[in-house]
Amino acid sequence: KAKKKKVKNHSFIIVISDFYYVDSANNLKKSLEEKISIKNMLVKKINDNKYRLLIGPFENFSALKTTYISLNNLGFDNLNVYKE
């Protein structure tokens, strides 16, 4: 019997920024949704005083690149990209 290797598809996430208040993260999320029409944004609670604004997951590099460039054009530089 031939064993098949299961290929795991990696997804990518862009971290916009960390916030002290959830309201600040949600305000930026709403603003970005209006400016560049991104639908897959998430505010994730890290701990009691830290919230992270994420975009993703992106299944392919092309979609990630397009969003990254759009954010960069809005003045967001030093964005972190993570592979899940």
CB 35 within 8 A of CB 71: no
Mean pLDDT, residues 18-32 taken together: 93
Burial 54-83 (b: 16+ CB within 10 A, else e): bbbbbeeeeebeebbeebeeeeeeeeeeee
Please say if the pLDDT value at position 63 is more than 80: yes
Closest CA to 52 of 32, 74, 26, 31: 26
Query: Which range, of 22-26, 45-49, 57-61, averages the lowest pLDDT?
Result: 57-61
User: pTM of the prediction?
Assistant: 0.77
CB 26 within 8 A of CB 44: no
